[in-house]
Structure 1
């Protein structure tokens, strides 16, 4: 969208006139938001060989999962300390203590979802080659024609 078109849309919005935006061309960079100009999230160094998939699964298992878990434990300790500090000492505490505890509970659920996602991605990477190979074999068996010579 050109700058002039943007300015026109802004002025129409201020004046109360109906606005209409047209997207009639692809972005100059190829779109998609990826460095390669392809699909969103596409990367030029996508792991595609069985060895690369296994290495990626090992990286998740050996580094990403343990580091994420450690970070979550550190956050638990720090948050619990903050809740304790803001909590009731003389029968009255800060409202902040409850809010921090509630936010931390929500954050903990998100961390657990991330850990579950990492685990499923690791399993998918490890089984991808087997799944594809089994699909190829099954398709090959289904497509193969029976020959008269098979009985001999």
Structure 2
């Protein structure tokens, strides 16, 4: 079987969409920088503020069941903050890795295309 032409729908891509993969390394880098310079530090600051406020409340309710409950809440909060910070770090790393991967793939594809020479005698002229 031999394919002599594309189908009537244009073939190759998704229906009605562009068949090209588009990526924006600059936007990925900007998002990773936002995570690093804004979200991670601000999350850490918020966690410390909440910890100090909760510690003061636990001391204020010493001897009451409320103090034990607040201590449990504080432990849960700290665990959730650590999980969130780990997730942010993971997303930051993934964004930077993806941007590098796409850039490397693009350079590799360009090099391969540049290495292809037409098999035609017209190139002699």
Deviation at 1:132, TM superposition (A): 3.0
Distance in structure 2 (CA, Å) of the matches to 1:71 and 1:130: 32
* Residue in structure 1 matched with residue 80 of structure 2 by the alignment: 110
Structural RMSD (CA): 2.2
Higher helix share: 2
2:42 paired residue number? 67
Per the normalisation by structure 1, the TM-score is 0.53
Structure 1 unmatched runs, 5+? 1-47, 88-92, 145-152
What's the TM-score, normalizing by structure 2?
Answer: 0.64
Q: Which runs of 4+ in 1 moved over 6 A?
A: none
Q: Distance in 1 between matches of 2:105 and 2:65?
A: 58
How many residues align? The count is 90
Give yes or no for the alignment of 1:96 onto 2:33: no
Contact persistence 2:25–2:103 (CA under 8 A): no
Q: Aligned to 1:58, which of 6, 21, 33? A: 33
Q: Which has the higher contact order (CA 8 A, sep 6+)?
A: 2
Q: Secondary structure at the match of 1:62?
A: helix
- The structure 1 residue matched to 2:90, chosen from 120, 128, 132, is 120
After TM superposition, give the deviation of residue 103 of structure 1 in Å. Answer: 1.2
Distance across 1 between alignment mates of 2:100 and 2:33: 17
